[in-house]
Amino acid sequence: MNFLRIARSIALVCLIGLVSVVATGLVPVRASAFQPHSPILIDGNSAFTSENGVTRGSGTAGDPYNIEGWDISLDPCDPGSCGNKGAIEIHNTNAAFIIRNVNVHADYIYGRGILLVNATDGLIQDATFSKSQVGILIAQSVNITISDVTLHGNGFVEAVGGGIRIVDSLNIRVDASNVSGNNYVGISAIRTRGLVIDDNTVSHNSGRYENGFGMAFYEITDARITGNNITNNPGHLNGSGIELDSSNDTIISDNTISNRPGNGFGVRLFSPERITIVHNNFIDNRVQAFVENGDNNSWDNGYPSGGNYWSDLGAIDNCSGPSQDECSAPDGIADQPYSIALAGAATGIDRYPLMKPFAPLETGSVRFAPTSITSQNSNKDLTASIRLPQGFNASNSIRSSIRLNETITATSVRLVTQPSATPLLIVTFSMTQVKELFSKPGIYTLQLTANLLTNTNFRPFQATATVRLVSS
C-alpha cells in the first residue's frame, strides 16, 4: 500500500482522537451578542433543561428544544480529564432540537465543537465553529441537518481533524454552509446512508503533508453531493476535492471542483459502484478525475443532457447528435469523448463533455396548441411557443437539444419576432408521438427541455404547461 492510500485510510477510518493547526483565511464570527456558557452535556431527553442551555421548546417536531445565543469553550481543560469531549454534547435522545446562533470554540487539542451520539431529529443552524479538533462530529445519529454554519480553523492534529465528521449515521444533510480553512479535511463521512451535501463552499482545507481534502467519504451509500463550490483544498500534489472510497449509489453533480494549477485531484474514486458524476466543472486540477478498480459508474447523462466540463478538454465542437455526426451546427458538446484516468480494473469515459462550464437550470414559459387533444384529433403536430428567460435569445438555444418529456424530438424549429416583445421560439412535435404519452383522458403536464449556450456557460432550460386529453 503506497503512502497515499495509507494517509487516506488513516483519515477516513479513525473515528476518535481528532485534532488541528489553526488555518489561514479565517472567517469572522457572525454575531457579537453571545452570552458565555459552560460546556453542555445532554444525555437523554430529560436532560434538555435550562441549566443545559435550553432556551425554549418542548421537544416536539413543531416546538423543538432550542439551544441558542451562547458562546461556549472547553478551555481550560486538562487532557487527562477532558478526553475527547465536546463543547456541546447530545447523547441518546429522540426529542427534536435546534442548536443555532452559537459561537463554539473548543480551544482544546482533542475537543469537539459539537458531538452528537445516538441523537435524532436535530438541526444545527446559523452558527460558527472554530479551534476544535473537529468542528461538528455526528455518530450513530438519524435525521440531522447542518445548515448555514461556518467552520474554520478546526483540526489540530494531521490526518484526523477537520470541519465536519459523520460516522455510522442515516439521513444527514449539510447545506448552505462555509467549511473553509480547516486542517486536513472539510467534510467527511464514514459508513453513512442517505447523505446530502448541497450548496456549500468548501475551500482551503489543506494538510501539511502533501494532502488535504475538500470532502472525503468511506463506505457511504445513497448519497447526493450537489451544487458545491470546492476549491483549493489539496495543499500539494496529493489530496482531492472529493475522495470517495468503497461507496455506491451516489450522485456527484452540479459542483465546481478546482485547485491551484498543478495541485491534487479533482475527484478520486476507489472501488466505486454505481456512482453518477455529471454536470460538474473540473478546473485546473493536476488530475481532473481518477478511478481505481471501479465499474458501473456514469460520467455523463446521455444526449443531449451531456456530461461534465473539463478545463483541459482541448476538443472541437462542429457537430451534434447522440453520435456527434450531424455536422450542420455545433451543440455545446465536444465531438470527442473525455477519458478518465484509470487504474486496476476500472472503466470510465465522459461521452459528452461540455465545451463551456455548466451553469444552473433556467426556467421559462411555454404554451402548447392545441390545448385539448382527442384520439381523433386531426392536428398533425403539437406546437410549442417558447419564451426564453430574460437575457437569452434564440441564438442561445441548441435546437438539436430540444425535447418534450425528455424523449420526443422536435420536427421543426423556427423563430417568430414580435414588435416590442421578446421573440418566440416555435417548435413542433409529432402528435402521434405526443399521444403515446397519455394513458387515459385527463390533464397532463408536459415538460419542454433544451440546452442554452452562451460565451461563458452551458446550462439546461425547462418550461412546463398542461394539455387535456378528452374522450372522442
Query: What is the per-residue pLDDT across 444-468, written as a single tens digit (0 to 9) for each?
Result: 999 999 999 999 999 999 999 999 9
Q: How far is the C-alpha of 395 from the C-alpha of 279, rounded, in Å?
A: 22
Question: So what's the pLDDT on residue 18?
Answer: 34
Other Cβ atoms within 10 Å of 8 Cβ, number = 24
Indicate the SS3 state at residue 245. strand
Q: Residue 73 — pLDDT band, cuts 50, 70, 90? A: very high
* β-bridge partners, 467: 444
Which residues make up the CATH 2.160.20 domain(s) of the chain?
3-350
Phi-psi region of 71 (alpha: psi -120 to 50; beta: other; left: phi over 0): beta
- pLDDT for position 184: 87
State the pTM of this model. 0.90
User: At residue 429, does pLDDT exceed 80?
Assistant: yes
Mean pLDDT of the chain: 88
**pLDDT band, residue 401 (cuts 50/70/90):** very high
- The C-alpha cell 472501488 sits at 271
The dihedrals phi and psi of 83, each to the nearest 5 degrees, come to 55, -130
- At 145-197, the pLDDT tens digits run 999 999 999 987 656 689 999 999 999 999 999 999 998 899 999 999 999 99
Calculate the CA dihedral of residues 325, 330, 331, 334 and round it to 10 degrees. 70
pLDDT band at 20 (very low <50, low <70, confident <90, very high): very low
pLDDT value, residue 21: 27
CB 192 within 8 A of CB 220: yes
Q: How far apart are CA 182 and CA 188, in angstroms?
A: 12
What kind and span of H or E run contains 180? strand 178-180
The H or E element that residue 432 is part of is helix 431-435
**Which residues are CB-neighbours of 323 under 8 A, at least 6 positions away?**
none
Cell numbers 500534489 correspond to 237
246 vs 403: CA distance, rounded Å:
36
CA dihedral 22, 28, 33, 34 (to 10 degrees): -20
Residue type for 271, please? S
- Can you tell me the mean pLDDT for 393-422? 87
Q: What percent of the chain has pLDDT over 90?
A: 72
Helical ranges in 75-190 per DSSP H:
79-82
Look at the domain 3-350 and name its fold.
Pectate Lyase C-like (2.160.20)
DSSP 8-state code for residue 193: B
Cell numbers of 375, please?
384520439
Name which residue leads in pLDDT, 417 or 443.
443
Sequence ranges of the chain with CATH classification 2.60.40.10: 362-470
- From the number of C-beta atoms within 10 Å of its C-beta (0-12, 13-18, 19+), residue 236 rates as middle
Which 3 state secondary structure label does DSSP give 9? helix
CA-CA distance, 363 to 462, in Å (whole number)? 5
Q: Over the stretch 348-360, which tens digit does the pLDDT of each residue have? A: 899 999 999 999 9
Cell of 58: 418542548
All 3 cell numbers of residue 373?
387533444
Return phi, psi of residue 284, to 5°.
60, 30
Closest CA to 342 of 249, 270, 282: 270
pLDDT in tens, 207-238: 665 578 999 999 999 999 999 999 988 766 67
The size of the chain, in residues, is: 472
Query: Is residue 31 very low, low, confident or very high in pLDDT (cuts 50, 70, 90)?
Result: very low
Contact between residue 154 and residue 163 where contact means Cβ atoms under 8 Å apart: yes
Which of 250, 246, 251, 245 has the alpha carbon at shortest distance from 221?
Answer: 250
d(CA 35, CA 69) in angstroms, rounded, equals 6
Dihedral of CA atoms 256, 238, 164, 116 in degrees, nearest 10, equals: 140
Can you name the CATH fold of 362-470?
Immunoglobulin-like (2.60.40)
Burial class (CB in 10 A: 0-12, 13-18, 19+), 417: exposed
pLDDT digits (tens, 9 = 90+) for 270-288: 999 999 999 999 999 999 9
Query: How far apart, in whole angstroms, are the C-alpha atoms of residue 185 and residue 220?
Result: 17
Segment among 193-202, 249-258, 415-424 with least mean pLDDT: 415-424
- How many CB atoms lie under 10 A from the CB of residue 456? 9
